[in-house]
Amino acid sequence: MINNSPLSRAEAILIPSPSLAYLGDAMYELLVRERMVLEGSRSPSVDALKYVPAPAQSQAVEKILPILTEEEEGVYRRGRNSVKSGFPKHASPSEYKKATGLEALFGYLYLTGNEDRARALFNAAFE
Known active-site residue 47: no
Rg of the Cα atoms in the chain: 14
Per the CB < 8 A criterion, the answer to whether 89 and 48 are in contact is: no
Cβ count within 10 A of residue 1:
11
Per the CB < 8 A criterion, the answer to whether 63 and 125 are in contact is: yes
According to DSSP H, which parts of 1-127 are helical? 9-13, 17-38, 44-47, 54-64, 70-81, 93-111, 115-125
What whole-number distance in Å separates Cα of residue 123 and Cα of residue 46? 19
Tell me which of 21, 25, 56, 122 is the catalytic residue: 25
| Active site (catalytic) residues | 25
